[in-house]
């Protein structure tokens, strides 16, 4: 799979597929795939930028490609004038791409215009073009071919400037020195040419197979004692077909040494090499080598002198696709190319298949010797036209996402006992431990009440079932129990349930309350019962605040608007009563003499209202004071009282039932904060 | 253009300038598309969406561009600076400048109006515009004054959409409010057609919005505010004019365009659907829907194979003839308001801000291109007036781009606030964002600030939200795993408040140990370990508008800018005010790579930039009046490769670049390069000559042409002779196209026809006659408008047959007469030769 496209008939051709990152900002990645298509990808958005099929793509497939250097940029200089709002010149616009073909022609393709710019044929090569190099300054192009020649092109007029025989066998690779005055070529031996005179300056020998890549690694010599003539002391790197070693050579002043200075070892034949030039002595050369087996090896080394032992990589990067199931083994994804970003701290990785590669920027800050990135590229295939037009990416929103709504734990900070409070609680417990009497007394009370109830055999409650259900967390049983609507059954069950089940029950209720409001209505009944019946037990618990915090928050968020609603309700009642009263007074005003009587009636009404309020207030006061059993009775009594009151008061009934029901609700909600306050 | 000494930093525009201000114009071969963009004209390739050239030279907003009708490789542009410039767009060179002097609002050209162009100018009153024709004098100099204005139409609309030139330039149509006026050049007469504008419902929205003319027929299409399109015919008569209605748009028709052949009409509006009306019939409609935003302009390429629509979200879509979008040229999307501010995505290094409604846009500053829009709200956007959509109000990146927090809100009425906070995680496997936690109503009121704790040593990702409800919440990532799945999710860890004041800002210190939250006038400091309130700072100088910690060596300082124009710096070690100054700061941004803080203050003239270190009392760099408008947002963008400026004024730009966004949403930055140097690259660029090889077709056709060329060279004198021959061909075709019943008998014509063919050989072989023919030909062309008496005299010696023919010819049209006469002459010469 790795670099599978390179499987050409000739075993001595390099394994890679011609591809290159655009210079400077690596904004584009050009790739000439085996089907003869040239595709240019945007590295930033991982989008196909353009596609071009040369007219002779079947006969003359692309063998090598090279980006022209960006349009020249002027250097910095200090004294300048100011002008307003001027456009940033897209001065580093990348344009021309040179393609060498198997039939010896060279195409210049303009990526800005999206069309073929020119074709260099006349006087050029008659055989496969092996390597193309642009001169960085003067716009010249150098190419080498199987026809043993090296050609220097003038791209401005698209004519051959110079053509000379480079070797006795085919010339496989080229590289221009950093100062632009020398040219390295690799055939049977590696030769260093002086570009001006086209004379051989040095020979290097060492590779057994054709050299597939040549690169200068330094732009300054390591020792700066001698004057620098532009070439002496520089290092360069070479990689060859079927060779797992990359050799580093140094250009020496004396013509003695012909062997490699050192070598890097990789796991397979190098397919794509990129490096960061080291600009001074201290800065290490960073080298990224993509191998045929789909791995990237990273080297970081300060080049100075000999090293006999081949160096191994500092870091290896692999990419794998996650397996489908849990047990399936991950599949490796081949890396096709790797290029350093301009900040030298991150690497652009191209991986996947040649037709739809994925381009990713990976930061190189880990010190691990082996990085394995897990990537899912299954859905990358199938290019979508619509996204290409609208450029909209839709992030994934799946059901696995956590959803927080008000009242759900996590939406608000969990209520934690502050350190001081916990201490107090602890103190309290200690005190309780010392005294014991309270606990005992409570226990006794409970037992008593239980005993009292136990005397009466009752079948219409299921405390045991509930306890078992809570214990086993059996959803079916819980549903069966908790979905009872009968208030009396609920009350009896709660009364008779074992104490240790109270907290689990409350937690279960809290969980269910978070659900749909309709189902929560049933739970409210349960909650009300539990809180009224077991308030005293709950108040003894030391960790009550964190345990019931979520419940408290839930209720608070649920009844957040309730206060306003009850305000509104109160005002409405007032208005309605006043309106009815005024109606009545109107009715009464007709006989003018009885005006005073109307006043009396009003006052009586108000009094009655007050009475109700007072009554209820009294009730609550009593509740607070009294124990749970009595409380419960009280509630009953209250209900009864209310019923009675309702029967008594015409107006109350006249309004509507809702008022009464809301009152009940009101009672519910009020209960909880009071409990809380009790506990504190 | 104020020139200051020793000022080396210049404010330059960076991307995102408006592309949809005026109609885009296609080049004749549809390879390029031109659009105005601020002070420039941009040339884009329709195939690759790349900007090929930027034509710069105007000193103010460019308001119109048109191809030179006489040379389709040249482009005219007009601007508010009162000049018309002529460009060679292939090489990006300015050819000529015509100085008109008035503020020019629109530009029109027409082939028949040879050396003059039409412009819209403003006279006296602010809302009264005139269409005038400007005679462009022929002169070799670079700058020419063109003061010869002739008045055409008065009281027209400013927008160029409201003026259109008719076929062959015979008339010009202009619309304004409720009337359409048509000016006929030949008759020098204006006709005016008014629609009823009564206040009742039916006609209330009859306003004209745009106009276009049929390229071939006498037909004007007008768009209206109520979505109707009216096609006017017979408008040369004030009484007999008719119009037909086409109605599909439910809202104002934004622009109309006829295809080159005139067979279909294109219309677009707020629905963002391009409608193609075939044969001007209501039934034959084709649609291209979902174009993303309101269609502002439509234009058609002269070659007829491409359309393009300019949209309100600053993009141009190139559409193929068969209604298929082929390319999108997208600038920085201009949303109604940028609420999220400017951010840098740590992963892609792209600039992130509000994009399309409900989207975040990722804009690459290096390549000056939009990378993509991230659909955060994921609700269908209905492009209709008066609808309130969810807005993306806040966004923040955390943990080197692994987390993205977004807040969206929708508020229809004061009490109905809908808030949603989404926390997205970057999934490396799929290389995309995945929703992790969605929080409904994270606060009870608007969220004012959102920040991640980006300290490296901080293990659990932490997010803080501050809200107007008086609380700030701390969210942390917790383990949500249960027996079914492994998961992480965000939960609220702490909720803090301070005396019920509104929380306005929040930020973490560089090491993440301290959290500063400002509550109106008071700054509170919280310990991020225990969430305890450590101390408060209060200067009583108005609400805190911006808050930030110093960095690196200045990390002991906290900076706060208040609404009353005070900038305070507190020392966190001594808990005392270090210094304060009076500065009305609108933007304050710390540089992530250095201690520097950039502050932009608003003054009466414009905005000033101050760069300072919190530890030093003197600013490092001050630049007054960086732009005329208020600066809304700013951001430091770390440089990939650090620069090495040595001068003191530049040092703050060494590691980061400062970008800022003004109120009118233009993205600006600072450049140290001089204008001259900026201009050089285009001249120095790699000039590679186009030389395409010979194809097999070339060998066939090219050889043929070469032969022709050779022949031409041989018979250079005969060149003139060959010309009439080629002209003969249409004559014959015309003869063939004439209805049979008006033609002379075939037997008679046959001989003529054959004779004409015979002549071609003769003219080549014999060199005496061509002169004759040529002379006659010339005379004919000269006296084309004259009547045929003189020619009759010349032709007295024709045969009887020819005379018979002439009788018939009298019934033919003039042009046909002329053609037949040619044949007659041919005939005559042949006889003479015999």
Query: pLDDT: is B718 or B120 the higher one?
Result: B120
Work out the minimum CA distance from A352 to partner chain B, whole angstroms: 13
What pLDDT, on the 0 to 100 scale, is given for residue B277? 92
- Assign residue A541 a region: left if phi > 0, alpha if psi is -120 to 50, beta otherwise? beta
pLDDT at A227: 67
Residues 58-77 of chain A whose Cβ lies under 8 A from any Cβ of chain B? 68-69, 71-74, 76-77
Q: Which helix (H) or strand (E) holds B729?
A: helix B719-737
Judging contacts by C-beta atoms under 8 Å, the chain B residues touching residue A43 are none
* Residue whose token pair is 């584009």: A28
**What pLDDT, on the 0 to 100 scale, is given for residue B780?**
45
How many Cα atoms occupy the beta-carbon half-sphere of B501 within 13 Å?
A: 15
Tokens of B70: 């006489």
B386: Cβ contacts below 8 Å, ≥ 6 apart: none
- Looking at the predicted structure, is the pLDDT value of residue B717 above 50? no
Is A84 an 8 Å CB contact of chain B? Answer: yes
Alpha carbon B494 to chain centroid distance? 48
pLDDT score of B26 more than 90: yes
Kindly indicate the confidence band of residue A198, based on its pLDDT and cuts at 50, 70 and 90. Answer: confident
Task: Tell me which of B693, B695, B696, B697 to substitute to probe the interface with A (most A C-beta atoms closer than 10 Å).
Answer: B693
Angle at A532 between CA A529 and CA A537, to 5 degrees: 115
- Probe site for chain A from B688, B695, B696 (most A CB atoms < 10 A): B688
Task: State the angle between helix axes of A463-472 and A475-482 in degrees (0 to 180), rounded to the nearest 10.
Answer: 150
* Cα–Cα distances in angstroms (integers) from residue B41 to residues A284, B15, B24, B699, in the given order: 46, 13, 10, 40
Among A89-93, A229-233, B66-70, B703-707, the range scoring the smallest mean pLDDT is: A89-93
Give the pLDDT band (50/70/90) at residue A54: confident
Measure A617 CA to nearest chain B CA, in Å.
Answer: 31
| Max Cα–Cα distance, chain A, nearest Å | 137
Q: Could you tell me the two tokens for B542?
A: 């108005």
Residue in B668, B687, B692 closest to A85 by CB: B668
Question: Cβ of B431 under 8 Å from any chain A Cβ?
Answer: yes
Chain A residues close to B671, C-beta within 8 Å: 86, 88
CA distance B279 to chain A (A): 29
Q: Does B48 touch chain A (CB under 8 A)?
A: yes
B119 to chain A, closest Cα gap in Å: 26
Residue B297 parent element (H or E) = strand B295-300
The helix-helix angle for B814-833 and B719-737 (nearest 10°) equals 120
pLDDT classification of A210: cutoffs 50, 70, 90: confident
Instruction: State how far the Cα of B356 lies from the Cα of B374, in Å rounded to an integer.
Output: 9
- Smallest CA–CA distance from B426 into chain A, residue: A395
pLDDT at B424 over 90: yes
Specify the long-range contacts of residues B615-622, CB closer than 8 Å, at least 24 apart.
B615/B550, B615/B553, B615/B554, B615/B557, B617/B579, B620/B596, B620/B648, B620/B651, B620/B652, B621/B9, B621/B648, B621/B649, B621/B652
Count CA within 13 A, CB hemisphere, residue A23.
Answer: 20
Q: Is A361 on the interface with B (CB under 8 A)?
A: yes
Residue in B329, B287, B288 with CA at minimum distance from that of residue B310: B329
ipTM of the complex: 0.72
Question: What percent of chain A stands above pLDDT 70?
Answer: 69
Q: How many Å apart are CA A296 and CA A612, to the nearest integer? A: 83
pLDDT at B112 over 60: yes
pLDDT band at B802 (very low <50, low <70, confident <90, very high): very low
Size of interface A-B (CB pairs under 8 A): 289
- CA–CA separation, B541 vs A117, rounded Å? 65
- pTM exceeding the 0.80 threshold for the entire prediction: no
Asked if the C-beta of A564 comes within 8 angstroms of chain B's C-beta atoms, the answer is no
Q: How far apart are CA A540 and CA A398, in angstroms?
A: 44
On chain B, the residues whose CB falls within 8 A of the CB of A91 are 678, 681-682
Mean pLDDT confidence for B748-758: 72
CA A518 to chain centre: 36
Distance between CA atoms of residues A188 and A204, nearest Å: 10
Interface of B with A in 244-283 (CB under 8 A): none
The DSSP-derived string for A569-585 is HHHHHHHHHHHHHHHHH
In whole angstroms, what is the distance from residue B493 CA to residue B476 CA? 6
Task: Determine contact: A114 vs chain B, CB below 8 A.
Answer: yes
Q: What is the pLDDT of residue A565?
A: 86
pLDDT tens for each residue of B144-154: 888 888 888 88
Q: What is the pLDDT of residues B394-404, one digit of tens each?
A: 999 987 888 99
Among candidates B9, B48, B442 on the partner chain, residue whose Cβ is nearest the Cβ of A112: B48
Mean pLDDT, residues B709-721: 53
Q: For tokens 């109520």, name the residue.
A: B226
Q: What chain A residue is nearest to B51 in terms of C-alpha separation?
A: A112
Per-residue pLDDT band at A42 (split at 50, 70, 90): confident
Model confidence pLDDT, tens digit, residues B510-548: 888 889 999 988 999 999 888 889 889 888 778 888 999
pLDDT at A601: 55
CB atoms within 10 A of CB B16: 26
Any CB–CB contact under 8 A between B681 and chain A?
Answer: yes
Which of A9-23, A35-49, B209-223, B332-346 has the highest average model confidence (pLDDT)? B209-223
Per DSSP bridges, beta strands A115-120 and B10-13 are unpaired
Segment B660-701, tens digit of pLDDT: 888 877 888 887 765 444 443 433 444 555 666 666 676 676
Residue A238 or residue B701, greater confidence = A238
Asked if pLDDT for residue B405 goes beyond 50, the answer is yes
- Extended beta strands in B109-194, E state: 116-122, 129-135, 143-145, 149-156, 163-165, 171-176, 179-184, 189-194
What order do you get walking across the sheet with A335-340 strand by strand? A335-340, A346-351, A358-363
Binning pLDDT at 50, 70 and 90, where does residue B317 land?
very high
Residue A398 sits at the chain B interface (C-beta within 8 Å): yes
DSSP assignment, residue A155? T
Q: Is the pLDDT reported for residue A256 higher than 50?
A: yes
Q: Which of A74, A87, A99, A347 to mutate to test the interface with B (most CBs of B within 10 A)?
A: A87
Least confident stretch, A16-20, A557-561, B410-414, B650-654 = A557-561
Residue B771 is predicted with a pLDDT of 45
A123 touches chain B (CB under 8 A): no
Nearest to A396 among B434, B681, B691 (CB): B434
> pLDDT per residue over B606-621, tens digit each?
888 899 888 887 888 8
Torsion of CA B367, B369, B372, B373, to 10 degrees: 140
Please indicate if any CB of chain B lies within 8 Å of the CB of A393: yes
Beta bridge partners of B559: B548, B569
Residues A466/A493, Cβ–Cβ less than 8 Å: yes
Distances in Å between the Cα of B486 and the Cα atoms of A77, B428, B478, B479, B481 are 58, 17, 11, 8, 4
* Range B559-584 average pLDDT: 88
Q: What is the pLDDT of residue A483?
A: 81
Between A221 and A589, the higher pLDDT residue = A221
Nearest to A44 among B15, B367, B493 (CB): B367
In DSSP notation, A520-567 reads HHHHHHHHHHHHHHSHHHHHH-TTHHHHHHHHHHHHHHHTTTHHHHHH
For residue B272, the distance in angstroms to the closest alpha carbon of chain A comes to 13
Residues of chain B with pLDDT > 70, as a percent, come to: 81
Residue B800 has pLDDT above 60, yes or no: no
Nearest CA in chain A to B375: A394
Token digits for B418?
């809908």
Number of neighbouring beta carbons within 10 Å of residue B652: 25
Interchain proximity A392–B434, CB inside 8 Å: no
* A491 interfacial to chain B (CB closer than 8 Å): no
Q: Which of B36, B50, B642 to mutate to test the interface with A (most CBs of A within 10 A)?
A: B50
Contact A82 B348 (CB under 8 A): no
Q: Is B289 at the interface with chain A, CB within 8 A?
A: no
What is the reported pLDDT for B258?
92
**Cβ contact B13–A86 (<8 Å):** yes
Residue B373 has its nearest CB partner, among A121, A391, A403, at A391
Q: What is the mean pLDDT of residues B359-388?
A: 84
- One DSSP character per residue, A444-498 reads HHHHHHHHHHHTS---S--HHHHHHHHHHT-HHHHHHHHT---HHHHHHHHHHS-
Interacting residues of A605 by C-beta distance below 8 A, sequence separation 6+: A577, A581, A651
Please state the rounded mean pLDDT for residues A53-73.
77
A45 Cα to chain B: minimum distance (Å)? 5
Report strand pairing: B369-375 vs A392-393.
parallel
Tens-place pLDDT, residues A521-569: 888 888 888 888 888 888 888 888 877 888 888 888 777 778 888 889 9
Question: If you average pLDDT over residues A645-665, what whole number do you get?
Answer: 43
Q: What are B453-472's pLDDT values in tens digits?
A: 887 777 788 999 999 989 99
**Average pLDDT score over chain B:** 80
For residue A317, the cross-strand partners are A296, A371
Chain A stretch 158-197, residues whose beta carbon is closer than 8 A to a beta carbon of chain B: 158
pLDDT tens sequence across A447-459: 544 444 444 455 6
pLDDT in tens, A328-338: 777 888 898 99
| Interchain pair B440, A73: CB under 8 A | no
| Average pLDDT of the residues in A148-165 | 86
DSSP assignment letter at A328: S
Residue B417 CA to residue B727 CA, distance in Å, equals: 76
Residues of B in contact with A93 (CB under 8 A): 50-51
Q: Is A556 on the interface with B (CB under 8 A)?
A: no
Q: Which residue of A has its CA nearest to B90?
A: A113
Q: Which residue of B has its CA nearest to A25?
A: B366
Task: State the average pLDDT for chain A.
Answer: 73
Give SS3 for B584.
coil
From the list A339, A241, A343, A299, the residue with the least C-alpha distance to A19 is: A339
A592 shares contact with chain B (CB less than 8 Å): no
In the DSSP assignment, the letter for residue B529 is T
User: Using the beta-carbon criterion (under 8 Å), do B438 and A404 form an inter-chain contact?
Assistant: yes
- Reference B602, options B625, B620, B581; nearest CA is B625
Over residues B174-203, the mean pLDDT reads 81
Q: Check A74 against B492: CB less than 8 A apart.
A: no
Q: Which one is predicted more confidently, B581 or B802?
A: B581
Token reading at B608: 């000033």
With beta carbons under 8 A apart, name residues in chain B contacting A135: none
- pLDDT above 60 (res A473): yes
- Nearest CB partner across the interface for A390, out of B292, B688, B691: B292
Q: Using an 8 Å Cβ cutoff, are A546 and A417 in contact?
A: yes
Inspect the interface and report whether the beta carbons of A392 and B375 lie closer than 8 Å. Answer: yes
Q: For the ranges A286-295, A469-478, B438-447, which has the lowest average pLDDT?
A: A469-478
Please determine, for residue A4, whether its predicted confidence score (pLDDT) is greater than 70. no
- How confident is the model at residue B820, as a pLDDT? 63
Task: For residue A342, give the nearest of A678, A81, A21 by alpha carbon.
Answer: A21
Q: Inter-chain contact B493–A405, Cβ cutoff 8 Å?
A: no
Rounded to an integer, the average pLDDT of A176-180 is: 86
pLDDT tens per residue across span A577-630: 999 988 877 666 555 555 666 655 554 444 444 444 444 444 444 444 444 444
Whether residue B672 and residue A401 make contact (CB cut-off 8 A), yes or no, is no
Which ranges constitute the DSSP H helices of B472-612? Answer: none
Answer whether A477's CB lies under 8 Å from A468's CB: yes
- For the cut 90, the answer to whether the pLDDT of residue B595 exceeds it is no
At A255 the pLDDT is 63
Residues of chain A contacting B31 with CB distance shorter than 8 Å? 113
Q: Is the dihedral of CA B759, B765, B768, B771 positive or negative?
A: positive
Please give the residue that has the higher pLDDT: either B186 or A572.
Answer: A572
pLDDT for B725: 46
The two tokens of residue A624 are 């607070």
Residues, chain B, total? 834
């Amino acid at each position: 799979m790795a670099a599978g496209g390179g499987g050409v008939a000739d075993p001595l051709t390099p394994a890679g597929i011609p591809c290159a990152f655009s210079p400077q900002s690596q904004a584009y990645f050009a790739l000439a795939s085996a089907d003869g298509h040239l595709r240019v990808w945007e590295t930033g958005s991982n989008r196909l930028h353009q596609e071009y099929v040369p007219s002779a793509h079947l006969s003359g497939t692309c063998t090598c490609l090279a980006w022209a250097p960006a349009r020249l940029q002027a250097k910095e200089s200090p004294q300048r004038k100011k002008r307003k709002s001027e456009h940033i010149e897209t001065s580093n616009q990348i344009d021309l791409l040179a393609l060498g073909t198997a039939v010896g022609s060279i195409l210049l393709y303009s990526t800005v215009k999206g069309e073929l710019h020119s074709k260099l044929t006349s006087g050029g090569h008659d055989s496969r073009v092996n390597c193309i190099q642009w001169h960085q300054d003067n716009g010249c192009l150098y190419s080498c071919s199987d026809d043993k020649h090296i050609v220097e092109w003038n791209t401005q007029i698209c004519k051959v400037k110079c053509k000379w025989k480079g070797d006795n066998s085919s010339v496989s690779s080229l590289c221009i020195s950093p100062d632009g005055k020398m040219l390295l070529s690799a055939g049977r031996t590696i030769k260093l040419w002086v570009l001006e005179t086209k004379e051989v300056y040095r020979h290097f020998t060492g590779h057994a197979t054709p050299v597939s890549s040549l690169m200068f690694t330094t732009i300054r010599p390591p020792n700066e004692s001698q004057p620098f003539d532009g070439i002496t002391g520089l290092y360069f790197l070479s990689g060859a077909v079927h060779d797992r070693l990359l050799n580093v050579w140094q250009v020496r002043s004396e013509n003695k040494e012909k062997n490699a200075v050192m070598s890097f070892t990789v796991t397979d034949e190098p397919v794509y090499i990129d490096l960061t030039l080291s600009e001074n002595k201290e800065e290490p050369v960073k080298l990224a080598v993509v191998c045929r087996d789909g791995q990237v090896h990273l080297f970081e080394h300060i080049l100075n002198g000999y090293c006999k032992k081949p160096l191994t990589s500092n870091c290896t990067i692999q990419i794998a696709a996650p397996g489908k199931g849990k047990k399936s083994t991950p599949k490796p994804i081949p890396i096709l190319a790797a290029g350093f970003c301009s900040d030298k701290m991150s690497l652009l990785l191209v991986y996947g298949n040649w037709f739809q590669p994925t381009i990713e920027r990976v930061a190189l800050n880990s010190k691990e010797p082996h990085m394995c990135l897990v990537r899912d590229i299954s859905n990358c295939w199938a290019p979508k036209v619509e996204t290409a037009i609208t450029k909209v990416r839709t992030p994934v929103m799946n059901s696995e996402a956590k959803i927080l709504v008000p009242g759900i734990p996590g939406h608000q900070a969990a209520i934690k006992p502050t350190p001081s409070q916990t201490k107090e609680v602890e103190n309290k417990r200690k005190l309780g431990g010392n005294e014991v009497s309270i606990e005992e007394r409570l226990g006794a009370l409970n037992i008593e009440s239980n005993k009292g109830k136990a005397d009466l055999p009752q079948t219409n409650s299921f405390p045991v079932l509930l306890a078992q259900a809570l214990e086993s967390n059996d959803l079916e049983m819980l549903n069966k129990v908790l979905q009872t609507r009968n208030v009396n059954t609920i009350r009896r069950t709660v009364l008779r349930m074992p104490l240790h089940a109270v907290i689990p029950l409350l937690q279960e209720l809290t969980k269910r309350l978070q659900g749909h409001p309709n189902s929560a209505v049933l739970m409210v009944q349960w909650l009300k019962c539990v809180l009224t019946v077991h308030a005293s037990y709950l108040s003894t618990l030391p960790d009550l605040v964190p345990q019931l915090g979520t419940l408290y928050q839930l209720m608070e968020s649920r009844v957040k608007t309730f206060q306003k609603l009850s305000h509104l309700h109160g005002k409405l009642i007032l208005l309605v009563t006043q309106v009815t009263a005024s109606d009545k007074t109107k009715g009464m005003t007709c006989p003018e003499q009885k005006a005073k009587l109307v006043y009396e009636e009003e006052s009586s009404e108000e009094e009655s209202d007050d009475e109700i309020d007072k009554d209820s207030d009294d009730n609550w006061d009593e509740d607070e004071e009294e124990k749970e059993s009595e409380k419960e009775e009280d509630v009953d009594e209250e209900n009864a009282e209310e019923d009675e009151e309702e029967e008594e008061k015409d107006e109350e009934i006249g309004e509507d039932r809702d008022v009464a029901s809301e009152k009940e609700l009101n009672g519910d909600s009020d209960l909880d904060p009071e409990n809380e306050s009790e506990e504190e | 253009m104020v020139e200051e000494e020793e000022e080396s930093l210049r404010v330059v525009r960076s991307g995102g300038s408006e592309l949809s201000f005026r109609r885009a114009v296609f080049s004749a071969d549809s390879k390029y598309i031109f659009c105005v963009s601020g002070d420039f004209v941009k040339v884009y390739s329709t195939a690759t969406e790349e900007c090929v050239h930027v034509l710069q030279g105007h000193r103010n907003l460019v308001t119109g561009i048109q191809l030179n009708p006489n040379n389709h490789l040249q482009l005219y542009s007009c601007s508010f600076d009162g000049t018309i410039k002529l460009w060679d767009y292939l090489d990006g060179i300015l050819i000529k400048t015509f100085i008109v002097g008035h503020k020019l609002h629109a530009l029109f050209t027409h082939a028949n109006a040879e050396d003059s162009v039409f412009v819209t100018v403003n006279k006296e009153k602010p809302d009264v515009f005139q269409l005038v024709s400007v005679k462009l004098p022929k002169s070799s100099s670079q700058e020419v004054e063109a003061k010869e204005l002739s008045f055409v139409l008065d009281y027209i609309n400013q927008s160029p959409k409201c003026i259109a030139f008719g076929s062959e330039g015979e008339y010009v149509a202009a619309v304004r409010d409720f009337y359409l006026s048509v000016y006929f050049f030949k008759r020098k007469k204006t006709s005016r057609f008014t629609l009823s504008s009564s206040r009742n419902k039916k006609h209330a929205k009859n306003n004209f919005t745009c106009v276009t003319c049929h390229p071939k027929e006498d037909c004007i299409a007008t768009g209206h505010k109520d979505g109707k399109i009216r096609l006017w015919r017979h408008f040369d008569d004030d009484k007999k004019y008719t119009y037909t209605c086409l109605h599909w748009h439910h809202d104002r028709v934004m622009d109309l365009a006829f295809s080159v052949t005139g067979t279909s009409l294109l219309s677009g509006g707020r629905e963002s659907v391009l409608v193609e009306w075939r044969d001007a019939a209501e039934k034959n409609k084709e649609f291209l829907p979902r174009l993303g935003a309101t269609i502002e302009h439509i234009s058609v390429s002269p070659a007829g194979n491409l359309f393009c629509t300019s949209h309100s979200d600053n993009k141009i879509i190139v559409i193929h003839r068969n209604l298929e979008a082929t390319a999108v040229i997208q600038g920085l999307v201009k949303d109604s308001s940028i609420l999220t501010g400017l951010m840098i995505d740590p992963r892609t290094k792209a600039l992130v801000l509000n994009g399309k409604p409900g989207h975040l846009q990722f804009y690459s500053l290096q390549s000056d291109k939009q990378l993509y829009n991230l659909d955060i709200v994921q609700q269908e956007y209905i492009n209709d007036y008066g609808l309130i959509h969810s807005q993306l109000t806040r966004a923040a990146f955390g943990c080197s781009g692994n987390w993205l927090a977004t807040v969206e809100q929708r508020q229809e009425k004061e009490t109905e606030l809908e808030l949603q906070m989404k926390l997205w995680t970057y999934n490396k496997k799929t290389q995309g964002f995945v929703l992790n936690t969605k929080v409904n109503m994270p606060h009870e009121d608007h969220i004012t600030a959102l920040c991640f704790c980006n300290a490296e040593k901080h293990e659990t990702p932490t997010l803080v939200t501050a809200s107007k409800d008086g609380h700030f919440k701390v969210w942390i990532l917790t383990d949500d795993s249960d027996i079914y799945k492994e998961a992480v999710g965000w939960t609220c860890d702490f909720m803090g408040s301070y005396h019920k004041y509104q929380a306005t800002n929040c930020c973490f210190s560089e090491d993440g140990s301290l959290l500063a939250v400002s509550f109106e006038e008071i700054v509170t400091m919280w310990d991020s370990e225990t969430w305890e309130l450590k101390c408060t700072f209060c200067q009583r100088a108005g609400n805190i508008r911006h808050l930030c910690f110093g960095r690196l060596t200045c990390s002991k300082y906290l900076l706060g800018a208040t609404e009353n124009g005070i900038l305070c710096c507190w020392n966190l070690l001594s808990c005392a005010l270090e210094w304060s100054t009076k500065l009305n700061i609108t933007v304050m941004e710390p540089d992530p790579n250095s201690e520097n803080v950039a502050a932009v203050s608003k003054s009466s003239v414009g905005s000033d930039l101050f760069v300072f270190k919190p530890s030093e009392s003197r600013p490092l760099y001050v630049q007054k009046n960086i732009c005329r408008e208020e600066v809304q947002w700013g951001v430091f963008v770390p440089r990939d490769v650090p620069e090495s400026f040595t001068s003191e004024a530049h040092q703050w730009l060494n590691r980061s670049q400062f970008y800022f966004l003004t109120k009118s949403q233009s993205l600006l930055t600072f450049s140290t390069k001089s204008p001259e140097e900026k201009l050089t690259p285009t001249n120095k660029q790699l000039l590679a000559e186009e030389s395409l090889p010979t194809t097999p077709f070339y060998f066939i056709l090219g050889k043929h042409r070469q032969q022709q060329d050779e022949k031409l060279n041989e018979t250079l004198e005969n060149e003139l002779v060959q010309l009439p021959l080629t002209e003969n061909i249409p004559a014959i075709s015309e003869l063939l196209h004439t209805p049979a019943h008006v033609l002379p008998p075939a037997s008679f014509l046959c001989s003529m026809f054959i004779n004409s063919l015979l002549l071609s050989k003769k003219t080549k072989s014999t060199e005496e006659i061509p002169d004759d023919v040529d002379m006659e030909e010339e005379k004919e062309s000269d006296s084309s408008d004259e009547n045929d008496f003189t020619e009759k005299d010349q032709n007295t010696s024709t045969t009887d047959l020819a005379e018979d023919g002439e009788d018939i010819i009298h019934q033919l049209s003039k042009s046909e007469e002329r053609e037949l006469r040619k044949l007659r002459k041919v005939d005559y010469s042949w006889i003479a030769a015999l």
